[in-house]
Amino acid sequence: MNYIQYEQKDLIGVLTIDRPKALNALNSEVLAELDQALNEIPMDETRCLIITGAGEKAFVAGADIGEMSGLTKAEGRAFGEKGNAVFRKIETFPIPVVAAVNGFALGGGCELSLSCDIRIASENAVFAQPEAGLGITPGFGGTQRLARTIGVGKAKEMLYTCGKVKAAEALALGLVNAVYPADQLMEEALKLAGKIARNAPIAVRACKKAVNEGLQVDIDSAVAIESEQFGGCFETEDQKNAMTAFCEKRKPDPFVNK
């Protein structure tokens, strides 16, 4: 692959978008490679995925403006669908995905981070949806996930004004869970992913499914989804191991994802 690096660190996968000459902007090739890289992640041995950008300046500076500039309406719709399919794959990825936002997260970059389960950022991170200033709407889920994450009023302000949101404000808005000095971001992302990876994988995956699917439906249907996921955890080796260990006042054996 030309634009995606993947590294396996024990039970954690680290996927880096690496297109330095365009501040990691997403063109069709980057999106296709991102899709392929997600398909190739070894799911049996990976319990959490981190997505970040190469370099010290940008997570992802948006969709590629040069590539988009000449698109027809039909091509624009097709480009949007391609990005949306990849970002939806991240959102529904079976394991948790952490965005380590290491600089500019503009347009498609902000949207990429929003498709992840958890965002943490470096002190130099900057979020924005500059699309309206470029004559378009966000096309990779920004109008939908931003409002669901930070609330309608603030999301509309970001969308209408194209204003930049720095790391400290992003933290106050709940757009990111934590902010760290740039040189500590990956270490902290790995720590967070490590805490996730230590827990029973079937249960963690079920939590993700229950939260994601439950938020789309009414509360009665949502608690039914939870019951289904809850029930599905019983009779697994990991459930028996952990509960037996608790009853016997000892630590459980490492979880085996069975």
Least separation in angstroms between residue 35's CB and ligand DAK is 15
**Choices 10-18, 41-49, 106-114, 170-178; region in contact with ligand DAK by CB under 6 A:** 106-114
**Bridge partner list, 12:** 9, 48
Residues recorded for the chain: 258
Q: Does 62 bind ligand DAK (CB under 6 A)?
A: yes
Should residue 61 be labelled a site residue for ligand DAK when binding is judged by CB under 6 A?
yes
The residue from 32, 43, 65, 173 that contacts ligand DAK (CB under 6 A) is: 65
For 128, 135, 175, 193, 232, the CA distances from 239, given in Å and listed in that order, are 42, 52, 33, 21, 10
Nearer to ligand DAK, 76 or 231 (CB): 76
169 is catalytic: no
To ligand DAK, the closest distance from the beta carbon of 148 in angstroms equals: 18
**Residue in 37, 59, 114, 131 binding ligand DAK, rule: CB under 6 A:** 131
- Asked whether the beta carbons of 116 and 98 are under 8 A apart, the reply is yes
Residue nearest to ligand DAK (CB): 139
Which helix (H) or strand (E) covers residue 79, if one does?
Answer: helix 73-91
Q: How far is the CB of 90 from ligand DAK (least distance, A)?
A: 15
How far are the Cα atoms of 41, 45, 57, 127, 178 from residue 112, in angstroms, in the given order? 18, 24, 16, 11, 17
How close are the terminal C-alpha atoms of the chain, in Å?
A: 32
Q: Determine the Cα–Cα distance for residues 66 and 135; give it in Å rounded to an integer.
A: 14
By CB under 6 A, name the one of 2, 39, 44, 66 that touches ligand DAK.
66
Q: Which amino acid is at 117?
A: D
**What is the rounded radius of gyration, in angstroms, for the C-alpha atoms of the chain?**
19
Determine, following the binding rule CB under 6 A, whether residue 53 of this chain makes contact with ligand DAK. Answer: no
Q: Which of 96, 80, 105 is nearest to 212 (CA)?
A: 96
- Candidate residues 64, 99, 127, 225; the one interacting with ligand DAK per rule CB under 6 A: 64
CB of 248 to ligand DAK, least distance (A): 54
Catalytic positions are 111, 131
Q: Which residues bind ligand DAK (CB under 6 A)?
A: 22-23, 25, 61-66, 76, 79-80, 83, 104, 106-108, 130-131, 134, 136, 138-140
